[in-house]
């Protein structure tokens, strides 16, 4: 619809000039266009109420005048123009939908819905970034799948993307873990239990620290030793990191996620002094109760802590060093941070400090927040052990799919691979269905439901399209039918297909994968209605069959790309 809407906007500019001697920009008119909720009112509408003040005419008068003016110069792709009340309504022609649209999807060298918006531009995305020695739980799912989806959407729009896993592999938690290991752990138990044993030690530390506060002092001392280069502590930290990464890679494999960089917080330890010195040179550092801070009171924010009283660094110092390194290394046009909304203040402070330091690219830093995740209303917390591990959730989903496959399609090839694709996809789709900023109370029975607006429904629809095409002799050319009169289900499906480029554009502008997820359901619903009402292989005429096969091929193309953009696999048989 993007092209049609621009054609209409440009035509309206001319009509307004001729009818009312009024100048208007096509871009402004384009933004006024909307989609009527009632299909009888056409596919696109101009609410003339928005022009009434400027043109000094009643909305119905404006609508009728513009309708009359456009009668002799109908915009390309429009079949009918009507006015109703204060609305000017446009109906896209069947010919455009059945011919031009399908050619765009199937016959163009360029992927339908993609763009060159990002041509020559680089985007760095910081996402997932788990804290080492803690397992993946569903609280990590948001940053991971939102971040990777945004990477795919940006790539689809032509950007060069750099995905960074900024591992939480530094900080006081290592002091806690080193203390716990020396008091209660052993090499044998860690090698046997892996990350689960590290978590047990971490939880035990916090339980014991509530009874003995000196443990926290011990942990701070161990971290200070780590920062000062203590060989034994460095060796232990690296061991903990290696064990954690081995576990994380299993989850990333299930999600088909690869990162371009795993540079975590520890990578920036030798790069922080330069930035601390720059803060001093800019007279931004102040001493407050022994700690070094940047005072942000005049900007309506609390102070940004850079160094502790003992001189050890805090998150902001490492994040400043990381941002500078990324700019120097990748010369990014945007650097996107995908984290929970609970860190919004941290990033507001970070971006302001970088601005005050004199870095003129501060306005290219973007924080993309998302809502909190709870399980049945209970807050997640590793230190208390109240978590639902992602690997357990995936295992439950995969097992449920495996049972269904055994019941309904025992002869299916690659059953384990398909069960994983559908099971993991069910969880991902559930998470990305709603706006990212919305808090989610994760209900396992809902996440693992395979009915209605779910991932398995979308993947099954894709497999249905593949199955239909496998029974044909290939995709016919557009020349095998002409002037084809489409039925209502066919027209609605084509109409939904036409929305894909626009939904990509909005998802990109809003950093919002759920726009794609909701589009997938809309497309699946329209396709399954079409499938039910319109015989394809058994169509009445050769022209009808050719048109419908091309339509199915278009659905496979668009649905496959849409699923890819939200981190879901596309098995051709389920």
Could you report the per-residue pLDDT of 491-526, keeping only the tens digit for each? 999 999 999 999 999 999 999 999 999 999 999 999
Separation in Å, CA 407 to CA 132, 402, 404, 410, 489: 40, 9, 5, 7, 32
DSSP string over 439-507: -EEE-HHHHT--SSSSHHHHHHHHHHHHHHHHTSSSPPPGGG--SPPPPHHHHHHHHHHHTHHHHHHHH
Q: How confident is the model at residue 484 (pLDDT cuts 50, 70, 90)?
A: confident
Sheet holding 285-288, edge to edge: 285-288, 291-294, 304-307
Tell me which H or E stretch contains 113. none
Q: Which residues contact 14 (CB under 8 A, 6 or more apart)?
A: 73
What is the pLDDT, as a whole number, of residue 386? 55
> Among residues 119, 168, 150, 117, which one has the least CA distance to residue 337?
150
In whole angstroms, give the CA distance from residue 487 to residue 505.
29
In whole angstroms, give the CA distance from residue 275 to residue 327.
14
- Cα-Cα-Cα-Cα torsion 507, 512, 515, 521, nearest 10 degrees, comes to 130
Angle at CA 386, nearest 5°, toward 131 and 319?
20
DSSP string over 307-336: E-TTS-B-HHHHHHHHHHHHHHHH--SEEE
What is the pLDDT, as a whole number, of residue 446? 79
Q: How confident is the model at residue 384 (pLDDT cuts 50, 70, 90)?
A: very low
Mean pLDDT of the chain: 92
Q: How confident is the model at residue 287 (pLDDT cuts 50, 70, 90)?
A: very high
In whole angstroms, give the CA distance from residue 333 to residue 159.
10
Q: In this predicted model, what pLDDT tens digit does every residue of 309-361 receive, in sequence order?
A: 877 778 899 999 999 999 999 999 999 999 999 999 999 999 999 999 999 99
Burial category of 32 from C-beta neighbours within 10 Å (exposed 0-12, middle 13-18, buried 19 and up): middle
Q: Which residues contact 109 (CB under 8 A, 6 or more apart)?
A: none
In whole angstroms, give the CA distance from residue 530 to residue 508.
29
Q: What are phi and psi of 291, to 5 degrees?
A: -90, 155
Across 534-547, average pLDDT: 91
In whole angstroms, give the CA distance from residue 430 to residue 443.
10
Q: In this predicted model, what pLDDT tens digit does every residue of 100-129 receive, in sequence order?
A: 999 999 998 889 999 999 999 999 999 999
> What's the N-to-C CA distance of the chain in angstroms?
32
Q: How many helices (H) and strands (E) does the chain have?
A: 23, 13
Q: How many residues are listed for the chain in this entry?
A: 574
């Amino acid at each position: 619809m993007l092209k049609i809407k621009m054609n209409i906007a440009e035509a309206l500019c001319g009509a307004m000039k001729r009818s009312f001697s009024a100048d208007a920009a096509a871009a402004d008119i384009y933004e006024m266009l909307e989609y009527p909720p009632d299909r009888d009112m056409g596919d696109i509408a101009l609410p003339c109420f928005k022009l009434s003040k400027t043109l000094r005419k009643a909305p119905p008068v404006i609508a009728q005048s513009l309708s009359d003016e456009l009668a002799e110069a109908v915009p390309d792709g429009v079949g009918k123009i009507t006015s109703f009340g204060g609305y000017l309504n446009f109906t896209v022609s069947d010919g455009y939908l059945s011919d031009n649209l399908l050619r765009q999807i199937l016959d163009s060298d360029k992927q339908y819905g993609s763009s060159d918006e990002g041509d020559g531009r680089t985007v760095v995305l910081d996402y997932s970034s788990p804290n080492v020695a803690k397992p993946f739980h569903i609280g990590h799912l948001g940053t991971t799948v939102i971040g990777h989806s945004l990477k795919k959407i940006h790539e689809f729009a032509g950007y060069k993307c750099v995905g960074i896993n900024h591992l939480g592999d530094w900080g006081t938690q290592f002091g806690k873990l080193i203390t716990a290991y020396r008091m209660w752990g052993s090499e044998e138990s860690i090698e046997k239990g892996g990350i689960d044993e590290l978590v047990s030690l971490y939880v035990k530390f916090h339980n014991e620290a509530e009874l003995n506060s000196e443990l926290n002092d011990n942990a701070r001392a161990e971290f200070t030793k780590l920062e000062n280069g203590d060989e034994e502590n460095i060796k232990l930290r690296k061991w903990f990191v290696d064990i954690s990464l081995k576990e994380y890679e299993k989850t990333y494999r299930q999600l088909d996620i690869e990162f371009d960089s795993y540079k975590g917080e520890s990578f920036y330890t030798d790069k922080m002094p330069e930035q601390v010195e720059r803060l001093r040179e800019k007279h931004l550092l102040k001493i407050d109760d022994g700690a070094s801070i940047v005072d942000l009171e005049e900007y309506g924010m609390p102070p940004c802590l850079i160094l502790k009283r003992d001189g050890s660094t805090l998150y902001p110092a490492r994040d400043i060093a990381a941002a500078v390194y990324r700019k120097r290394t990748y010369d990014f046009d945007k650097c996107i941070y995908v984290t929970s909304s609970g860190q919004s203040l941290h990033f507001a402070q970070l971006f302001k400090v970088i601005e005050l330091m004199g870095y003129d690219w501060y306005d290219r830093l973007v924080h993309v927040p998302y809502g909190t995740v709870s399980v049945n209303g209970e807050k997640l917390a590793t230190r208390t052990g109240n978590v639902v591990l992602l690997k357990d959730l995936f295992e439950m989903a995969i097992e449920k799919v495996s049972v269904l496959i055994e019941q309904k399609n025992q002869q299916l090839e690659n059953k384990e691979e398909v069960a994983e694709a559908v099971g993991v996809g069910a969880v991902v789709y559930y998470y990305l269905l709603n706006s990212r900023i919305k808090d989610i109370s994760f209900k396992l029975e809902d996440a693992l439901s395979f009915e209605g607006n779910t991932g398995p429904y979308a993947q099954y629809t894709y497999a249905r399209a593949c199955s239909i095409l496998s029974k044909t002799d290939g995709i016919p050319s557009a020349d095998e039918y002409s002037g084809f009169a489409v039925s209502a289900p066919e027209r609605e499906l084509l109409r939904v297909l036409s929305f894909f480029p626009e939904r990509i554009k909005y998802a990109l502008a809003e950093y919002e994968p759920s726009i794609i997820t909701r589009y997938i359901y809309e497309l699946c619903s329209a396709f399954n209605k079409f499938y039910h009402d319109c015989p394809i292989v058994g169509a009445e005429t050769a022209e009808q069959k050719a048109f419908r096969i091309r339509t199915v091929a278009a659905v496979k193309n668009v649905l496959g790309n849409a699923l890819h953009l939200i981190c879901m696999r596309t098995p051709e048989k389920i």
